[in-house]
Structure 1
């Protein structure tokens, strides 16, 4: 089965027999067979009729419409035959501490490996930097070695917290003093690097929320992060291994001069990114996100497979394909 992701303005969707057809100013651009669709995600302004929604519903295909700056879903018509089954398994396993710990260990272990890879890359620049980071790196190494033996989520969170403190302390030793970074802070971020971290983590979080909806799971029910009002805990779970990749990219943003200290100013205790900086940041982020999105998709597919394996399920837990309609040539390729 396939998820169709439409991110192009001005298209018109019509039903043409057993296919979904795409038109641009009455010119037919391509079709996709309805029978292969599991869900359709719409992220641009386009036209479609009630008959299209009705036909998708008859085929059991879900429709997700994303709108606004955070691209939060404003309409969800789930493919109940698939989604309901997946979510029931998700809810049941989220109540089992052994399964939650198993998944959490994997995510945290991958995150710590990513942190060590980031620090190793920074240390490789010269021997002086390596010596400055050595003590902090050793703490993260010890934490990574203990992950598989932690008895519960609380201990795992404590271990992750200790590693994070030393990881960010190491980053502070390689970032320019002009950024004023002394460690992780937020709500509000109080220096330029923390502004970039918080903004990027937020954008990645909502990319994961979208991907989780497309997978047919509930983003609010996680396995490592406990349920909290208004928090997509599963997205927070899946974000953990991606953070070091983003951190490394954020360091490079300043090293390469894409972002500069003068792009930021203080308003009370909060550090703010100026308009010129935001324009450069969003352009750079969108370019980098093209490489991160496949990782998010794979994380969701791996989780789906783990859920099915844990409950002995096969039907409805197979990985799905993603079909992206973004440019005119991409649409034409679907004919």
Structure 2
């Protein structure tokens, strides 16, 4: 079974005959990208060599300083394996994709037509937001009966506020208004995190509001890192379909970004990232020591990123009984199915109208 590989060590990734090998550096003295003015290769790959079969690789995430060459890129392209690059601070920076394996001019034209039609675009944009808020409410309501009465009542009031914003979705006349409603709902959601995390965790990880560029405290840093991973997970599944990742409906398409992954990630962040954060913090697996302050912001250290990725990888393989297919489907496969649902809607919106994933478990 193919799976993603997460490489945190520095060194050189190379093709070895018809397989892959990571030649690690014996010493890892990385410095931030913005402090490296020479652009020289990483440390000498004089450490142990770790081979792994290319047949087992779905994608590769590069968190360390790893050198590659054109022979490796060609080999990965032949095998249909994408590379995802992250900088010193764990921010997603770029993707290296082979030629798209599934190509459909019909889907591409339908996707563009739905974007260019304000009415058709709003149908999809509203579904993305509605599903995202539904899943947020699902996460919040899980904690309502598990909290003491004062906290439970406060959380229930926040649920009602978000439900009110969700009820306004149908009347939104355009995308900016829709995104404003979603923004208000998310602000309300993030304000409840100290309640859901509990007093002990909230003292270790104080959190007032969501701040992104740069994240101001450990919890904001953890959310930012998790969300960037969620975007790449969604992008990996989009790549397996005929969808164009640059043409989106909720977020405005732009240069140098795969905005469709931003659309679909809204649905899956509560399920994949937020739940993972709650579990890791409540279990004490991630501690304040796993963060560092640099350049006016807070960032997750390598040890913390390893813990998060190990947990997320397990979560992606976790299965749930699908109500329509009547078989167990992994969380990762749910993302792929969401892409296929979108393809069917684009090709025949009357027969296969898109409805975003609503968590039922």
Q: TM-score, normalised by structure 2?
A: 0.67
For residue 246 of structure 2, give the secondary structure of its aligned residue in structure 1: coil
Distance 1:94 1:42 in 2: 30
1:143 and 1:163 in contact (8 A); partners too: yes
Distance 1:217 1:298 in 2: 13
Q: 1:255 to 1:90 in 2, by over 3 A?
A: same
The residue that corresponds to 2:193 in the other structure is 171
2:100 and 2:239 in contact (8 A); partners too: no
Structure 2 residues without counterparts, runs of 5 or longer: 6-14, 20-50, 61-67, 87-93, 319-330, 353-361
Q: 1:68 to 1:131 in 2, by over 3 A?
A: closer
Structure 1 residues without counterparts, runs of 5 or longer: 14-24, 30-40, 54-62, 314-335
State the 1:310 CA deviation.
3.0
Residue 215 (structure 1) aligned with residue 231 (structure 2): no
State the 1:48 CA deviation.
12
User: Which 4+ stretches in 1 moved above 4 angstroms?
Assistant: 4-13, 44-50
Relative to its length, the structure with more helix (as a share) is: 1
1:65 and 1:76 in contact (8 A); partners too: no
Q: Choose which of 103, 110, 113 in structure 2 pairs with 1:89.
A: 110
The residue that corresponds to 1:272 in the other structure is 299
The residue that corresponds to 2:328 in the other structure is none
The residue that corresponds to 1:187 in the other structure is 213
Distance 2:72 2:4 in 1: 13
User: Greater relative contact order (Cα 8 A, min sep 6): structure 1 or 2?
Assistant: 1
For residue 168 of structure 2, give the secondary structure of its aligned residue in structure 1: helix
1:172 and 1:183 in contact (8 A); partners too: no
The residue that corresponds to 2:44 in the other structure is none
1:119 and 1:137 in contact (8 A); partners too: yes
The residue that corresponds to 1:106 in the other structure is 127
Q: 1:102 to 1:269 in 2, by over 3 A?
A: same
State the 1:311 CA deviation.
8.4
Q: TM-score, normalised by structure 1?
A: 0.72
State the 1:269 CA deviation.
2.6
The residue that corresponds to 2:98 in the other structure is 75
Distance 1:202 1:48 in 2: 23
Q: 1:122 to 1:153 in 2, by over 3 A?
A: same
The residue that corresponds to 2:265 in the other structure is 239
